[in-house]
Structure 1
């Protein structure tokens, strides 16, 4: 499931429940748009995976909490705690392996 996050409370409600992949992006970023297609393809293979999309410019609380300085940034969270961080455009096999680990 890919879910667009619009506020901090919504993020916390989902991010604290097990393994969650977070895509911090900007609507004006080319690599971010490409990553969106990769994540949509990943969702087809892993429909039970929880993927949150966080707009860098609209979710300052989340960006500050996880100290995200650039986009795209992928965070792997386990019960709300960051366990892995990837920066830049990522390919589907890398993200799939991250979720399966």
Structure 2
């Protein structure tokens, strides 16, 4: 698929630069239907879903995007989704998102775990633990 960014670039460096939130094996969710389709696909394939609720304007979200992309390539046994809370406001509210980024870990649509905030070591730790559950 695509390649991950290796460097975080902020808007002051390049106002035209856009962080890629859906590269690697990350699927960008733009409708409630695409969410349901991907969650069903993951259940059918026996995959655990890692869902990243973020926003394009959110600095911590932008900082996490390259790592999230790398993790999606490193752990193909998981399904990585990104939901832009501004694009799907009502849907995000139904997940009670209070801060971005918020990561959910789901099996068969049910929440296994959750991480709020841009904590790279904790995200990696939770993904390793979830991967162990999946095998």
> What's the TM-score, normalizing by structure 2?
0.68
Give unmatched runs, 5+ long, in structure 2.
Answer: 1-24
What is the Cα deviation at residue 98 of structure 1?
4.0
User: What displacement does 1:93 show?
Assistant: 2.5
Q: Which runs of 5+ in 1 are unaligned?
A: none
Structure 1 position 53 matched with structure 2 position 82: yes
**Could you say which residue in structure 2 is the equivalent of 1:11?**
35
For 1:9 and 1:93, how far apart are their aligned partners in 2?
Answer: 28
CA change 1:22–1:62 in 2 (3 A) is same
Higher gyration radius (CA): 2
**Which residue is equivalent to 1:70?**
99
- Structure that is richer in strand per residue: 1
- 1:11-44 deviation digits (Å, cap 9, x = unpaired): 0111233310000001011110111111111122
Number of positions where the alignment pairs a residue of Structure 1 with one of Structure 2:
101
Whole-angstrom CA distance in 1 between matches of 2:68 and 2:125: 11
- Structure 1 equivalent of residue 18 of structure 2: none
